[in-house]
Amino acid sequence: MIDGPDRDQPRFSEGHVPWVDDAIRAAIAEVSDPEAKGFSGAACGGDLLFCRAWLATGRHLTIFLPRPLEAFLDESVRFAGSMWESLFRNVVSAASTTVISPEPGMSELDDPHTPNNLRMLAAALDDPPVTGIFVWDGQGGDGPGGTRHMVNEVHQVGGDVAIIEP
């Protein structure tokens, strides 16, 4: 995600968005199958940049939300500003986007992000090969179920991983 205004140690600042956006588009260009499906979360930062770039290819995108819509927006989008919320709304309303809500009981968990990652990966495994495109600084996240977890899971199932360092 984009760094919040109170983040002590910067990880992904707004100033890096243009470079990361270009790098995501380049990584997507490497996915040559015109029928490939995209799977993503929709947090501000790498997720939404990926979603926008994926949709620009005309291919289908499925977004998995770990919390109900308003709670998700409060936790993972709104703090970064109205531009990110507008991008979120544009992405989820696109005709070639499917939004998968949390499973029953998932939003009551302290960590809905890990099970959300796992159900996203399960969906991707139904449409192999799996290639993960991640914006990641190589560090642990601010909580469970972050990028490190997903990178490890994709490696574990034999998928390819492209890392974009913000």
What pLDDT does residue 138 have? 86
Domain 14-24+36-164 has CATH 3.40.50: yes
Q: What is the pLDDT of residue 68?
A: 94
Extents of the domains making up the chain: 14-24+36-164
pLDDT along the chain (166 residues), means of 10: 86 92 97 95 97 97 95 95 97 94 88 93 94 90 79 95 94
Output the pLDDT for position 28: 97
Residue 66: exposure state from Cβ atoms within 10 A (0-12, 13-18, ≥19)? buried
* pLDDT at residue 56, as a whole number: 97
Instruction: For the beta carbon of residue 35, count every other beta carbon within 10 angstroms.
Output: 7
Residue 127: what pLDDT? 86
How confident is the model at residue 142, as a pLDDT? 66
Identify the bridge partners of residue 38 per DSSP, sorted by sequence position: 61
